Amino acid sequence: MTKTIRGVLTAVVTPFDRAGEVSPQLLRRQVQRQMQYDNGIFCNGTNGEFFVLDMAEKLLVTETCVNEVNGKVPVVAHIGEISTATTIKLGKQVAAMGVDAVSVIAPYFVPLKQSELIYHYSAIADAVPVPVYLYNIPGRTGNTIEPATALKLAEHPNIIGVKDSAGSYESLKGYIDATKDAPNFDVLSGPDHLAHQGFLDGCSACISGLANFSPEGVSLIWKHFRDGNLEKSKAAQDFISALRKDLYAVAFAPAAVKKATVLLGEDVGESRYAIRFSEQDLAAIQQVVAKYGVAPKL
C-alpha cells in the first residue's frame, strides 16, 4: 500500500448459513452493499467475530473479501492472536491474498508491559510483508497500547497507524496528539459516535461496525466532511450516534449489530457466541430497525 486509507472502513460481519458455517456467498453480498457507498472493508474484526473463527475460516473470509472487492476499495484484515508466532503465521497468509494492510489487537488474557507490546508489534511488522495497524481495544484485551508506545512503534517503517476502540474521546485524542508529528502514521477511530470528531481532529479513517446496518448513514459522515460541509457531516453523525445509543442499550455491540442487520432484511445469520435474545430484546431491536433503517437525506 502506497497511500493513506481514507474515509470509512466497515468492520464487516461474518455471515453464517443455516448450518452455522461461514458463507462466502452471503459475505459477497455484504461486501457489495458496502461498496455501493464507497466503504472499504475491515474483515475478521470484532464485528466479524474473529474470536469464534478458526484459522481456515479467517482465511476464507479474507479471500472472499479481497476477491469481491477486486481492488475497488481498500481491504484491511485483522490478524491479532494471543501469540506473536501465530499472528505472524496468519499475517503472512492473508498478506499473500492481496490485502492492503493488516490490523493487530494487543494480545489478550495475559497482562503485558509496554516494552513487551513493543517487542510483539515490532516482530510482527518485521515479518509480515504488508503494512500494519495497531489495534487498541483494552476493554476486550486487558492491555492498553499507550500513546507513547504508539509513537515509539511509529518509528517502524511497516507500522502505519493505530485503530483506537477504547471508546472515549480522551483515548482517541491521546493518540492524535502523541503522533501528530510522526510521518506516515495515521490514527483511525473505532467508536461510531466519534467518527466526525475524529475526522475534525485529523483521523484518516473510521472503522465502523454500525455501517453493517447503515452503510449509507456512516458514509455520509465522511463524504460531507470530505466535501467541506461540516454541518451535514455532523447531522449524519448525530443520526449514527442516536442509532448507537438505542441499539447498544439492548445487547453487546456485535450481536446487536448482526441481529439488527438481519431484521433489516439482510441474511447474515446468527452470532456464534453465547448470546440469546429475549422476545423483549427482539422487540426493542425491531423498534431500532424501524426508526433508523433508512438513512437521512442529507
The CATH number that applies at residue 95 is 3.20.20.70
**pLDDT at 1 (0 to 100):** 44
- The answer to whether residue 233 sits within a structural domain is yes
Torsion of CA 223, 224, 226, 231, to 10 degrees: -160
| In contact, 264 and 293? CB cutoff 8 Å | yes
- The answer to whether residue 232 sits within a structural domain is yes
**pLDDT at 253 (0 to 100):** 81
Dihedral angle sign, alpha carbons of residues 117, 198, 78, 240: positive
**pLDDT at 276 (0 to 100):** 86
Q: How far is CA 174 from CA 161, 168, 189, 193, in A?
A: 13, 10, 12, 17
- The answer to whether residue 1 sits within a structural domain is no
Q: Which residue has better confidence, 54 or 1?
A: 54
pLDDT tens digits along 100-138: 999 999 999 999 999 999 999 999 999 999 999 999 999
- The answer to whether residue 2 sits within a structural domain is no
Work out the percent of the chain whose per-residue pLDDT is above 70.
99
Active site residue 121: no
Full domain range(s) for residue 190: 7-292
58, 152, 163, 234: the active-site residue: 163
* Residue 252: count of CB within 10 angstroms of its CB: 12
The cell 470530505 sits on which residue? 226
| In contact, 268 and 262? CB cutoff 8 Å | yes
Q: How far is CA 59 from CA 12, 40, 90, 103, in A?
A: 15, 18, 8, 14
Q: What total number of domains does the chain contain?
A: 1
Mean pLDDT confidence for 43-72:
97
Predicted confidence band of residue 273 (pLDDT cuts 50, 70, 90): confident
Nearest by Cα to 257 from 274, 244, 273, 240: 244
Active site residue 135: yes
- The answer to whether residue 14 sits within a structural domain is yes
Predicted confidence band of residue 251 (pLDDT cuts 50, 70, 90): confident
Round the average pLDDT of the chain to a whole number and report it: 96
- The answer to whether residue 298 sits within a structural domain is no
pLDDT tens digits along 99-108: 999 999 999 9
Predicted confidence band of residue 3 (pLDDT cuts 50, 70, 90): low
For the entire predicted model, the pTM comes to 0.96
pLDDT tens digits along 169-223: 999 999 999 999 999 999 999 999 999 999 999 999 999 999 999 999 999 999 9
DSSP3 helix / strand / coil % (the chain, rounded to 5): 50, 15, 40
Beta bridge partners of 41: 10, 75
Mean pLDDT confidence for 65-87:
97
37, 133, 135, 292: the active-site residue: 135
